Structure 1
Amino acid sequence: MASLKALKLRIGSVKSTQKITKAMKMVAAAKLRRAQDAAQSGRPYAERLTAVMETLASKVATSASGPLLLSGTGSDQKHLLVVATSERGLAGAFNTNIVRAARRLADELTAQGKTVHFHLAGKKGRVLKRFYPQDVTGDHDLSGVKKVAFTDAQGLAQDLIARYEAGEFDVAHLFYARFVSAIVQEPVGVQIIPVPLATARTAASSPTSADAVVAYEPDEEAMLAELLPRNVAVQLFRALQENAASEQGSRMNAMDNATRNAGDMINRLSIQYNRTRQAAITTELIEIIAGAEAV
């Protein structure tokens, strides 16, 4: 049985941990509101741009001289999985769920005979190096980023586009966590390179777009040269914003659970401490009474 001193030290240690987790919960709650507003404000623009690019991909005639970001390489043998995670831990299953979704697709593609590589955006995604040591070919450093800006996404987009044009991969998939609520964060995997064809979702949201006539001003090449790289950057920026909100929501829940668990542990240790103390007092009383009777 633990001594009274050891129990008292452990209770003090757990109380200190509880103060830390409670403070971290409050900090995450404060950051969550700003991150949530930023993520929700950027959704309409990103979703509309996605719909426009998907429609263009299904309408514009592709050719060997056309933009690769729109027409693709003509193959889907080499896949790049861009895994966006956080730089810090203590956020529950936030990072684990994103990595698990990426691994699931990687295993499916590998089973089909495809070549799979990973490009990481966020330190916590480096756990993939333990499972695919030879397949992690890129690591975008976001450690110095306190608040996600569009320039951060542009830097990552330029890196991906350069690798794509160099022929390092045929298809790029982006994995991140979509913010649903402070309790629910949904891991998402979407294709960002090349632009996918219009889906049923796009057609349903724009019922007249199928018959629309697309006119370019000043010309098709100049318009697509501007839109296509920007679309990649916008989708990456959206993922980073969604991740920022999801991370804070997941961390707030994780720290709330940790605070509650610490409280339960303090109660159990306090009961054990009181019982041990009472047992020691009872033993001393019995020894005193026994000694008195002996005299």
Structure 2
Amino acid sequence: MNLNFSIIIPVFNRPQEIEELLQSISLQSCKENFEVIVVEDGSKNKCDSVCERFKDSMNLHYYFKENSGAGQSRNFGMQKASGNYFIILDSDVLLPEDYLSVVSEQLYSNFTDAYGGPDAAHHSFTPLQKAINYSMTSVITTGGIRGKKKGVGKFQPRSFNMGLSRKAFEITKGYSEMKYGEDIDLSFRLWNNGFETQLIEDAFVYHKRRSTIKQFYQQTFNFGTARPILNKKYPGTSKITYWFPSLFIIGVDIAILLAIFVHVDFVIPVCCYFFLIFLDSFIYNKRIKVAVYSVITTYTQFLGYGLGFLKSQFFSK
């Protein structure tokens, strides 16, 4: 089949991010036909003027709608799109110049009705953004499990970097009304309807993620909250690994209490783990500041996800 891409981008109060993303899209080396659909999700700080500046360099359509969340805005964009394959991006990513070429080549050689790609840190990112990226992608923080083909079973695409055929969208109806975990929910429904997903390892994006510790904590808390809901909605999908962040936080607390009231040696394993995080991040990023931040962001990731998971598991209605 001939691929006609429609790039779907929901945005909420982030005109600067959209400008940077559109600039990266305008530099794509891919020769395939593609259009760009920007869906403004009820923003007060709109990006219509930014989009207007790019209409001469690409086939771009801008829509404004009432606020309903990212998932429903993606559905809105896919309903408006003319392509037969949708590429769904978050507004806080940048594309390498060969992104569309990589996706196109892989889908022509191994077509699936959905795909996902990993993320990376751009050289221009702040030390904190690089640290967050490290925490979210490193195998020793559990974040890297979903980004390595050998580390996953059936790959669950994430909506910051995801593709979906028109046929799959029409049958599944796209994203549900879940505020968080809606991309995993879509993966389950894709599989239930007989569609295959794949990880395109070379189709990575530069993902800025949250720019403050507080925002990153809230994001991971929301991720943790969503998982028990998905486990109940799709019985049999639960895994013991989903409990790891919660057990880690409980273990750290117990170790600290034992170190205070029994013996300091109880906290040594915790210190060794975080030193490993520091060392591994330093080797990867080659900056002490990023390595120090990586210790903080890794703990924040475990804390946010772990507490969100426990709250949703035991205290949600």
TM-score, normalised to structure 1's length?
Answer: 0.32
Question: Greater CA radius of gyration, 1 or 2?
Answer: 1
Q: Using CA pairs under 8 Å that are at least 6 residues apart, name the structure with larger relative contact order, 1 or 2.
A: 1
